Amino acid sequence: MNKILLLLAIFFLPIPAFLNGVSQAELPSSVALPWSLSDNAISLSPPLQPAVSVRQAKEFVSVIVTLKDRANLGAVVGLNRAERNIGTVRLLQNTASTSQRSIRQLLETRRAQGQVTQVTYFWIFNGMAVTATPAVVQELAARPDVLRVTPDETIQAPPLSPAGQGQIDSFASQPNLDLTNVPALWNLGYRGQGVVVANTDTGVDVTHPDLGPKWRGGANSWFDPYGQHPTTPTDLAGSSSGHGTQTMGVMVGGQHNGAAFGLAPAAKWIAVKIFRDNGSATTAGIHAGFQWLLDPDGNPGTADAPHVVNNSWTAALGCNLEFQADLQALRAAGILPIFAAGNFGPSAASSASPANYPEAFGVGAISNSNIIKSDSSRGPSACDGTVFPEMVAPGVSIHTTDRFGLYTNASGTSIAAPHVAGGLALLLSAYPGMPVTEQENMLLNSTADLGASGPDDTYGQGRIDMLTALQSISADMSVAQTASAGSMAVGEVLTYTLTISNTGPMTTTGVVFTSTFSTQISLAFITFSQGTCSEADPVTITCTFGNMANGAAVTGEISVASTGPGMLTHTVSVASVRPDLYLENSSFTVNTTVFAQIFLPVVIK
């Protein structure tokens, strides 16, 4: 589908100096171009064509070039988060390294000719940011290995909301936390310990007493793609300064005047300052931020990516798929991309990108009285027509951290989204290896329904409920078993039919099925729809099923003959190498009477 992104305003700034080390003073003038994305396999995006054609031959245009070759992220396999993280980074880097060879040679040649001033190569979406002459841009768009060429746009940081009325002195914990059942998880011992959260935002004030001690620290815990604050977390973005400090406080803040206000106070944080000190971001800078999140230390052999990423910003109304490949990469690495739905309501069809991508998890804002915030964006999604947002969370007068060691009460979907991110951090402290699809399923399947019955384009699936989400994980495996008869003669064959199901929201890893008979039997045959089986001893059969996704089932039959009379008991059980699962209804027993066949004047069965 061909869609043109509707921008509220179009801003121009040259591509940032971090892209190849050239200072801003050395850069030639660039050009602001309207945004467009095409699903066609060629292309200089339509608005670029006239813009490029009217430029002087020596003037320069800043663009994003995306190549056709895509990494097969479905090939990323691994039973734990570290393996998924490392495997994703290496696969993306290998794909880019191979497919970019030819175009790199061309760009270096054109750079030597003075027709290219800046190039940054990206592996996260397999492409590059280029500042070049119109002729080179057209040359790039005509290449058979190029999927599309789009402008390197400028995006403004979200505005700060006016401080709302607070209730900080009245409650042991804030009403938004009680509404979402967060204290119940704290009481169970889950406070975000062992989890690293991140935000892509205006920065974070590391000097704040509630945030500074929770920074992970080190060179792999802070990234400013524009190089304005290369080492120390800072929150400075023009009139939006403080926005990132506010969103981080919702996720990991502690206490103020004796009242708890952050969802995951034991979690650590890292951050990407995607907005410059003047409050603007570039497409290239955001791509660089997402890429850094997958590999913060620059070593693909270490898994130091965050568990959770909050994105409290939008590009604009409509569908703009510029960052879709980035979000696909985050998901492959086990990171659910959580986004503010946008503050473009109350009209229907007011969804914004990237929150409305299929890969994103968009969050709308409600009051602590479960009423939708009037300007919270509504669905359906402009990208795929599905229900939007995914869910809602408190986003009206929420107490959180502010710059300079202060506190404030903030509102908007920017504040609702970190409720979901912080809540997910709590759940991951209980189940750290949970795959991303199951993170999403767990959140969506445990909401409190609001508004019209069922999913709708105002409240999505409903309000986040952390206790219900945690409880939804408690039952995963079930076993059903029937026997072909209630009695049998010695030597006759009896068949047991079995179904082993994963009824929970999580993939169960290393599933092992054990079949135990009470007396001596002779195995006739055994067959299952997956896995391998073997006789551990004359009365025990063990089958290894491997992994079972949520909703999956393994079916099979075991046929045996008894070698003597009595009561034949067949007990089956299921175990998993994953120690954090409670397997409810994971065993089942069937009793069968076995008679001896005695040849006397009367045959008795």
d(CA 321, CA 9): 18
329-344 mean pLDDT: 97
354-371 mean pLDDT: 98
Return the residue matching tokens 């206000």: 261
Q: What is the pLDDT of residue 444?
A: 94
Considering only CA atoms, which of 200, 201, 233 is closest in space to residue 217?
233
Beta strand 566-575 with 508-517: parallel, antiparallel or unpaired?
antiparallel
For 484-527, the pLDDT digits (tens) are 888 888 888 889 999 988 876 666 778 888 888 887 788 888 99
Of 196 and 476, the one with more pLDDT: 196
Q: What is the pLDDT of residue 582?
A: 47
Complete DSSP assignment for 333-370: TT--EEEE--S--SSSS--EETTTSTTSEEEEEE-TTS
117-130 mean pLDDT: 98
Q: What is the pLDDT of residue 50?
A: 58
Beta strand 361-366 with 255-256: parallel, antiparallel or unpaired?
unpaired
Q: Is 44 exposed, middle or buried (0-12, 13-18, 19+ CB in 10 A)?
A: buried
pLDDT > 90 fraction of the chain, expressed in percent and rounded = 66
For 273-314, the pLDDT digits (tens) are 999 999 999 999 999 999 999 999 999 999 999 999 999 999
The single-letter code of the amino acid at 534 is: S
Q: What is the pLDDT of residue 10?
A: 23
Q: What does each C-alpha distance from 335 to 161, 403, 427, 474 come to in angstroms? A: 28, 28, 13, 22
162-178 mean pLDDT: 69
For 453-463, the pLDDT digits (tens) are 999 999 999 99
Residues of the chain with CATH 2.60.40.1530: 477-595
For 207-235, the pLDDT digits (tens) are 999 999 999 999 999 999 999 999 999 99
Distance of CA 256 to the CA centre of its chain: 30
Of 50 and 340, the one with more pLDDT: 340
Contacts of 360 (CB under 8 A, 6+ apart): 327, 337, 338, 339, 354
User: Does residue 34 surpass a pLDDT of 60?
Assistant: no
Q: What is the DSSP letter of 439?
A: H
d(CA 285, CA 11): 15
For 529-571, the pLDDT digits (tens) are 999 999 888 889 999 998 887 778 999 999 988 888 888 888 8
Residue 450 CB coordination number (10 Å): 19
Q: 571, 587 in Cβ contact below 8 A? A: yes
Whole-structure pTM value: 0.78
What is the chain's mean pLDDT, rounded? 86
d(CA 604, CA 602): 6
d(CA 447, CA 469): 8
- If DSSP codes are grouped into helix, strand and coil, which group holds residue 497? strand
Angle (CA) 419-424-366 rounded to 5° is 25
Distance of CA 530 to the CA centre of its chain: 29
Assigned CATH topology for domain 175-471: Rossmann fold (3.40.50)
Q: 349, 458 in Cβ contact below 8 A? A: no
339-364 mean pLDDT: 98
Residues of the chain with CATH 3.40.50.200: 175-471
Half-sphere exposure of 128 (CA within 13 A, CB side): 25
Q: 52, 262 in Cβ contact below 8 A? A: no
Of 353 and 586, the one with more pLDDT: 353
Tokens of 139: 């040359």
Say which CATH class 477-595 falls into. Answer: mainly beta
d(CA 192, CA 504): 22
416-438 mean pLDDT: 93
User: Does residue 584 surpass a pLDDT of 60?
Assistant: no
H or E element in which residue 247 lies: helix 243-252
Segment of 384-398, 435-449, 504-518, 580-594 carrying the highest mean pLDDT: 384-398
8-30 mean pLDDT: 27
User: Does residue 186 surpass a pLDDT of 90?
Assistant: yes
User: Does residue 337 surpass a pLDDT of 90?
Assistant: yes
367-382 mean pLDDT: 97
